[in-house]
Chains A and B, each alone.
Chain A
Amino acid sequence: MKRYTRKTLVLEIGMILVGLLFMFPIYMLVNLALKAPGDQGAAIAPPTQPTLQNFVEAWNVGNLGSGLINSTLVTVTVVVLNVVLAASAAYPLSRLGARWSTLTYFAFLVGLLIPMQLALLPMYQTIRDLGLLGSLWGVILVSVGQGLPFSIFLYSGFMRTLPVEFEEAAALDGASAFRTFWSVVFPLLRPITGTVAILNVVWTWNDFLQPLLYLSGSQRKTITVAVYGFVGQYGAQWNLIFAGILISILPILILYFFMQRYIVQGFAGGLKG
């Protein structure tokens, strides 16, 4: 069908140039992080003597280890709770054709129109009044609650395409509604559960403003808040800062490069609904 012609070659060269230009910031990020603070070479040139010293130092002074652990705890908990709550809520909402379930579904969809900023100030006070400032649970509860509308939207859309025969068969075999859901329906939802999980992992890991409000000043910081504090503290030492930034984005980048097909599909497909 389509052949590789001379025109294709021109396009190829052009696109590679675009790609190189596009990757320049990432090159600088790695470049500076690998340079010794006293490197005499030009700023854009690669390091004369690459060193991992910046990473060691950033790790030691930036509390990045505990930031990574806290972010992992928050992300895993948020994703699990989000998946379980959204899937189990979408089940009756998409199967029972009652008026109340339609209304409840629309009430969830209203959440898609509300930017986090509107709820931000009152939520901060509630979290403070509950004594959850400085606790990962504050971030977790708020993140799960905010993520539910989109997850329920995705789950409901998917569930309407599933035939009910499996559930009927399970019921005929005497399974309870609870059992039917967990053993029959939930496993069938696996493709969309993957999408919901991927999107929530990326959003939760990268979330900054709310963790900043709920966790700054405490000992328990997520990685984004830790990096923010780190930059404030070591303002001019960019070699160190860049090493810290690289450490903070490495887990999500590794995840991306190993699962990029699913992640891209999740982002591209999660929106079509």
Chain B
Amino acid sequence: MAIAPAAPQVKTPVPKTRRHRGYASPVWWFVIPAATLYTFAVLVPAVRGGLFSLTDWDGVSPTWEWVGLSQYGNILNDPNGMTAVKNTLLIAAAVTIIQNVLGLLIALGVNSVIKSRTVLRVLIFAPVVITSIAVGFLWQNLLAPNGAVNLALEAVGLGALRQNWLGDPDVAIWSIIIVVVWQFVGYSMVIFLAGLQGIPEEVIEAAAIDGAGPVQRFRYVVLPMLAPAITINLMLSLIGGFKLFDQVFAMTKGGPGGATNTISTLLYTNAFQLGRFAYGAALAVVLTVFVAVASGIQYKLLSKQEG
């Protein structure tokens, strides 16, 4: 590519293609620092991580062997491994559905002329910026057997709903889902809100004049125009749900008895506490496949919707 011209003022006449060649075009080596760091911190370790998953390495020993795909077989045969994969999929799916339904309802609510709309927007988005590990510890206390949630349920006469929220294996996974929704519903809200504000008032009014009721207007006018916001929201919560670590680590550490492990928490325990390094690497590859597939679908959908 072109080097910065030494004396541009004598460069006449200017060729038609100057946009790409004639002026002091950006020099290629500007990309080197970023490319180097990216290769060092992402590409190389990612490839190595993939290779580790094909070995039996414990992360420390000088010797190791290639074992093909047997670490992936171990995930299938290990009850903890299958629980973690199932939990990861369940959390991602449940968070995606609940968070987006609630997020859309809240967005519709605060997109009205109510006086509290600004305050509500600010407050409901706030947990999104709060440290996830802190959110986890906060809820660990609130969901304890004698925690504020149970006390509050009793105070309003719903004592029958008391639960051992984090201690009961069947309930704990749903407690985690609710906490994640609480933290990130504001994220879905602002994206829906941006989508709603992009819908011209006249379109909705025109539909009203044509006799469409509120439900019909929502179903046939608003919802189709929200399609890009819906896609972004669905994929954002799906991918975030796949990767979930901090909140689970703070609330249950994957317990009780491994019942709330996600791929990420199981990966952490195996690689850094149990010395099953290669097994952890295989879990990371499984997670990568989930994330990559979801991202691929998002890209396809968005390019279709935006033409």
Among A4, A224, A248, A253, contact of B126 (Cβ-Cβ < 8 Å):
A253
Q: Is the CB of A43 within 8 A of B30?
A: no
Among A15, A86, A95, A171, contact of B5 (Cβ-Cβ < 8 Å):
A171
- Among A47-55, A118-126, A189-197, which stretch is in contact with chain B? A118-126
CA distance A252 to B145 in the complex (A): 31
Q: Is the CB of A121 within 8 A of B59?
A: yes
Within 8 A of B (CB), among A111-154: 111-126, 141-142, 144-146, 148-149, 152
Known interface pairs A29-B138, A141-B40. Does A115 touch B26 (Cβ–Cβ under 8 Å)?
no
Q: Is the CB of A145 within 8 A of B42?
A: yes
CA distance A12 to B119 in the complex (A): 12
Task: Report if B9 contacts A (CB, 8 A).
Answer: yes
Task: Report if A93 contacts B (CB, 8 A).
Answer: yes
Q: Is the CB of A117 within 8 A of B243?
A: yes
Chain A residues whose CB sits within 8 angstroms of the CB of B5 once the complex forms: 171
Task: Report if B174 contacts A (CB, 8 A).
Answer: no
Q: Is the CB of B49 within 8 A of A122?
A: yes
Q: Is the CB of B268 within 8 A of A119?
A: no
Task: Report if B223 contacts A (CB, 8 A).
Answer: no
Chain B residues whose CB sits within 8 angstroms of the CB of A224 once the complex forms: 131, 133-134
Chain B residues whose CB sits within 8 angstroms of the CB of A144 once the complex forms: 37, 41
B231 → A minimal CB distance (Å): 10
CA distance A28 to B50 in the complex (A): 44
Q: Is the CB of A118 within 8 A of B46?
A: yes
Chain B residues whose CB sits within 8 angstroms of the CB of A1 once the complex forms: 201
Within 8 A of A (CB), among B102-136: 106, 109-110, 112-117, 119-134
B241 → A minimal CB distance (Å): 12
Known interface pairs A95-B25, A118-B288, A148-B37. Does A208 touch B132 (Cβ–Cβ under 8 Å)?
yes
B276 → A minimal CB distance (Å): 11
B280's nearest neighbour on chain A, judged by CB, is: A121
Known interface pairs A8-B114, A101-B28. Does A113 touch B137 (Cβ–Cβ under 8 Å)?
no
Q: Is the CB of B126 within 8 A of A117?
A: no
Within 8 A of A (CB), among B173-203: 182, 187, 190-191, 193-194, 201
Q: Is the CB of B33 within 8 A of A89?
A: yes
Within 8 A of B (CB), among A26-79: 26, 28-29, 32, 42-44
Q: Is the CB of B132 within 8 A of A125?
A: no
Q: Is the CB of A117 within 8 A of B34?
A: no
Q: Is the CB of A117 within 8 A of B45?
A: no
Chain A residues whose CB sits within 8 angstroms of the CB of B7 once the complex forms: 174
- Among B15-23, B70-78, B93-101, which stretch is in contact with chain A? B15-23
CA distance A141 to B41 in the complex (A): 7
What range describes how many residues of A lie at the interface? 35 or more
Q: Is the CB of A104 within 8 A of B35?
A: yes
Known interface pairs A89-B35, A115-B291, A144-B37. Does A241 touch B137 (Cβ–Cβ under 8 Å)?
yes
CA distance A18 to B37 in the complex (A): 45
Among B27, B132, B295, B296, contact of A206 (Cβ-Cβ < 8 Å):
B132
Task: Report if A108 contacts B (CB, 8 A).
Answer: yes
- Among B61-69, B147-155, B159-167, which stretch is in contact with chain A? B147-155
Q: Is the CB of A23 within 8 A of B45?
A: no
Task: Report if B211 contacts A (CB, 8 A).
Answer: no
A32 → B minimal CB distance (Å): 8
Q: Is the CB of B113 within 8 A of A8?
A: yes
Q: Is the CB of A268 within 8 A of B46?
A: no
CA distance A183 to B283 in the complex (A): 47
CA distance A138 to B286 in the complex (A): 26
Chain B residues whose CB sits within 8 angstroms of the CB of A44 once the complex forms: 148, 151-152, 155
Known interface pairs A19-B120, A171-B5. Does A121 touch B113 (Cβ–Cβ under 8 Å)?
no
Among B20, B23, B42, contact of A171 (Cβ-Cβ < 8 Å):
B23
Task: Report if A6 contacts B (CB, 8 A).
Answer: no
List 17 interface pairs A-B (beta carbons < 8 Å), by A numbering.
A16-B120, A19-B119, A44-B151, A95-B26, A107-B43, A112-B295, A118-B49, A119-B41, A121-B45, A142-B41, A145-B37, A168-B23, A174-B9, A202-B129, A205-B131, A206-B130, A267-B187
Chain B residues near A (Cβ < 8 Å): 1, 4-5, 7-9, 18-20, 22-28, 30-31, 33-35, 37-38, 40-46, 48-50, 52, 59, 106, 109-110, 112-117, 119-134, 137-139, 141-142, 146-148, 151-152, 155, 182, 187, 190-191, 193-194, 201, 228, 232, 236, 242-243, 245-246, 249-250, 263-264, 267-268, 271-272, 277, 280-281, 283-285, 287-288, 291-292, 295-296
Closest 10 CB pairs of A and B: A145-B41, A89-B34, A119-B45, A171-B24, A171-B23, A122-B48, A122-B45, A92-B26, A12-B114, A85-B34
